[in-house]
């Protein structure tokens, strides 16, 4: 199986997850930043990692997800919201909807520390986003436990 891991990361959180997915996969594989990613056409599995922006995958990841077609797709994401929050679930559902023909073979999301400049900006909004109250808990994430869970999921999904 030929696998491709592509990711977008502003603070390094999603990169940590991308590296873990890549390390766990076996066989022929490549890893690329989303901006440098090749077309998914020649790959059997595409793993796309993104950070969330306004409750959706970041714009570059959204564009890439629309190109996936009928490939096997593993989604992973980082965000400031609580892992089981509606905000996190909606972002993952939005990602799935961007690749409607893909075969979703796994999904993983976890908190990731939010850039302090972003926190300052959203705190100043008249109506701060719902995830803001979860952001303090994201400071130490993704941590070793998050990475280990992701690796187990990739292994259990038969992607390795």
pLDDT in tens, 103-118: 999 999 999 988 877 8
Residue 160 has pLDDT above 60, yes or no: no
| pLDDT tier at 123, thresholds 50, 70, 90 | confident
Q: Are 98 and 56 in contact (CB under 8 A)?
A: no
pTM of model > 0.85: yes
Residue 146 has pLDDT above 90, yes or no: yes
Q: Using CA atoms, how far apart are residues 143 and 105, in angstroms rounded to an integer? A: 24
Q: Using CA atoms, how far apart are residues 20 and 146, in angstroms rounded to an integer? A: 10
Q: Using CA atoms, how far apart are residues 96 and 73, in angstroms rounded to an integer? A: 9
pLDDT of 126 reads 86
Pairing of strands 56-57, 72-79: unpaired
The structure tokens listed for 91 are 């972002």
CA angle in degrees (0–180, nearest 5) for 76-79-82: 105
pLDDT of 34 reads 96
Burial 46-63 (b: 16+ CB within 10 A, else e): bbbbbbbbebbbbebbbe
Residue 13 has pLDDT above 60, yes or no: yes
pLDDT of 31 reads 98
The structure tokens listed for 20 are 């873990």
Residue 121 has pLDDT above 90, yes or no: no
Model pLDDT for residues 37-85, shown as the tens digit of each residue: 999 999 999 999 999 988 899 999 999 999 999 999 999 999 988 888 8
Q: What percent of the chain has pLDDT over 70?
A: 98
Domain 2-156: CATH class, spelled out? alpha beta
């Amino acid at each position: 199986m030929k696998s491709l891991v592509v990711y977008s990361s502003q603070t390094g959180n999603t990169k940590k997850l991308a590296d873990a997915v890549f390390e766990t996969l076996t066989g022929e594989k490549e890893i690329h930043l989303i901006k440098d990613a090749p077309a998914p056409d020649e790959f059997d599995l595409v793993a796309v990692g993104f950070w969330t922006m306004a409750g959706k995958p970041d714009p570059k990841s959204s564009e890439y997800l629309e190109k996936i077609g009928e490939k096997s797709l593993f989604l992973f994401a980082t965000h400031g919201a609580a892992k089981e929050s509606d905000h996190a679930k909606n972002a993952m559902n939005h990602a799935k909807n961007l690749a409607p023909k893909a075969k979703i073979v796994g999904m993983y999301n976890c908190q990731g520390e939010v850039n302090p400049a972003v926190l300052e900006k959203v705190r100043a909004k008249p109506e701060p986003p719902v995830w803001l109250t979860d952001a303090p808990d994201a400071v130490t994430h993704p941590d070793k436990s998050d990475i280990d869970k992701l690796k187990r999921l990739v292994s259990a999904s038969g992607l390795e």
